[in-house]
Amino acid sequence: PAGLFAALQLIELGLKPIVLERGKDVQERRRDLKAINRDHIVNEDSNYCYGEGGAGTYSDGKLYTRSKKRGDVDRILELFVGFGASEEILVEAHPHIGTNKLPKIIKAMREKIIEFGGVVLFDTRVTDILVKNNEVEGVETQKGDIIRASKIILATGHSARDIFELLDRKKIFIEAKPFALGVRAEHPQTLIDSIQYSCDFRGDYLPPAPYSIVKQVNGRGMYSFCMCPGGVIAPCATSPGEVVTNGWSPSKRDQETANSGIVVELKLEDFKPFAKFGALAGMEFQKSIEQRAWHLAGETQRVPAQRMVDFTQSKVSADIPKTSYVPGTTPVELGQVFPGFLTQIMREGFVQFGKSMRGYMTNEAILHAPES
């Protein structure tokens, strides 16, 4: 989405941008998502994060932020409506588009860019940035093509490790930034409804309940993130040999389960064991956890999973019921996925969550790891 919105802005300024996209268009991308879910095959150019519209296309489309670094949010919402989103997003406190509706909106954006003279090239991965006398001259693609330009905007997102490596190699300044890491928790939606609405059944006039929870544990924030009522957990790895989760929901939020990232803030000092990687230390830390998860999952996308109470008691779950995560689960003691300090915080944190939201801490809740 960052790249698409940059292209739209350039069009508004009367320029004709060239958009280079390593993945496929929204339609073609669907096949690769099927291959991940069904055959455990990750195409490193086309997956839940890569392809037209990036991670945004198959994201949940929750359009609100806790960040204080806000730009003109209304303008973005109006653009989304202009490209086909419901007008309700202009007035809702927590606007949400829904994954089923996003691909059409993203396609309309691409058509507008092309209509106004822009160019969109799919299957075009940038592999090098050409620099002369400290000035950008263009980029090279995986096909060996050179595309000359005196200005480039890099909007390759948080998953593009090859780009971070390229920048580091070319001595273009980058620095590590702290992030948050944890699990994706899934509860029956009816349970979350009964906790949040304090009633046995949710009436027809109430939406599937969301939740938001934050605790300080051992001096670190542990919090819910990207909570998806009536949603689905998705396999979001961008490279073979890794497992990563995230979540989404359709516009009606009508699935049977509620999922949420539950993450712990990391600090730069946590990356010390990877210090030899310099600015890429945090990225290597993250990668090591995603790779460990893949090994624990029997070298498949069957995500390591554990019931919530079992996790707090370091007990491998005897069974894992079917969850919304389509490739399936592998019962694992999730302490094996994370460094010890993180496991400790999450164990303690879930106990605290259970005290604030009665019923939240239950073996009906399934943790999927990692969310990174």
Ligand X SMILES: Cc1cc2nc3c(=O)[nH]c(=O)nc-3n(C[C@H](O)[C@H](O)[C@H](O)COP(=O)(O)OP(=O)(O)OC[C@H]3O[C@@H](n4cnc5c(N)ncnc54)[C@H](O)[C@@H]3O)c2cc1C
Question: Which residues are at the interface with ligand X (CB under 6 A)?
Answer: 1-3, 20-23, 48-51, 54-56, 58-62, 125-126, 155-160, 163, 226, 234, 236, 246-248
Token couple for 161: 């490790």
> In the block, which residue shows the tokens 């956890």?
289
Q: Which is nearer to ligand X, 217 or 289 (CB)?
A: 289
Q: Are 226 and 216 in contact (CB under 8 A)?
A: no
State the nearest-atom distance from the C-beta of 157 to ligand X, in Å.
Answer: 2
Q: Which is nearer to ligand X, 155 or 357 (CB)?
A: 155
Q: What residues form DSSP beta bridges with 259?
A: 186, 228
State the nearest-atom distance from the C-beta of 234 to ligand X, in Å.
Answer: 5
Burial class (CB in 10 A: 0-12, 13-18, 19+), 245: buried
Q: Which is nearer to ligand X, 184 or 215 (CB)?
A: 184
Q: Which residues have a Cβ under 8 Å from the Cβ of 12 and sit 6 or more positions away?
A: none
Among candidate residues 9, 7, 201, 218, the one with its CA nearest the CA of residue 119: 7
Q: Which is nearer to ligand X, 20 or 222 (CB)?
A: 20
State the nearest-atom distance from the C-beta of 219 to ligand X, in Å.
Answer: 27
State which residue has the least CB distance to ligand X: 157
Q: What is the spatial distance between Cα 345 and Cα 280, in angstroms, rounded to a whole number?
A: 25
State the nearest-atom distance from the C-beta of 275 to ligand X, in Å.
Answer: 26
State the nearest-atom distance from the C-beta of 68 to ligand X, in Å.
Answer: 15
Q: Which is nearer to ligand X, 50 or 80 (CB)?
A: 50
State the nearest-atom distance from the C-beta of 187 to ligand X, in Å.
Answer: 18
Q: Are 308 and 366 in contact (CB under 8 A)?
A: yes
Q: Which is nearer to ligand X, 163 or 334 (CB)?
A: 163
Q: Quick check: helix, strand or coil at residue 306?
A: strand
Burial class (CB in 10 A: 0-12, 13-18, 19+), 140: middle
Q: Are 238 and 42 in contact (CB under 8 A)?
A: yes
State the nearest-atom distance from the C-beta of 285 to ligand X, in Å.
Answer: 19
**Side chain identity at 47, as an amino acid letter?**
N
Q: Which is nearer to ligand X, 55 or 109 (CB)?
A: 55
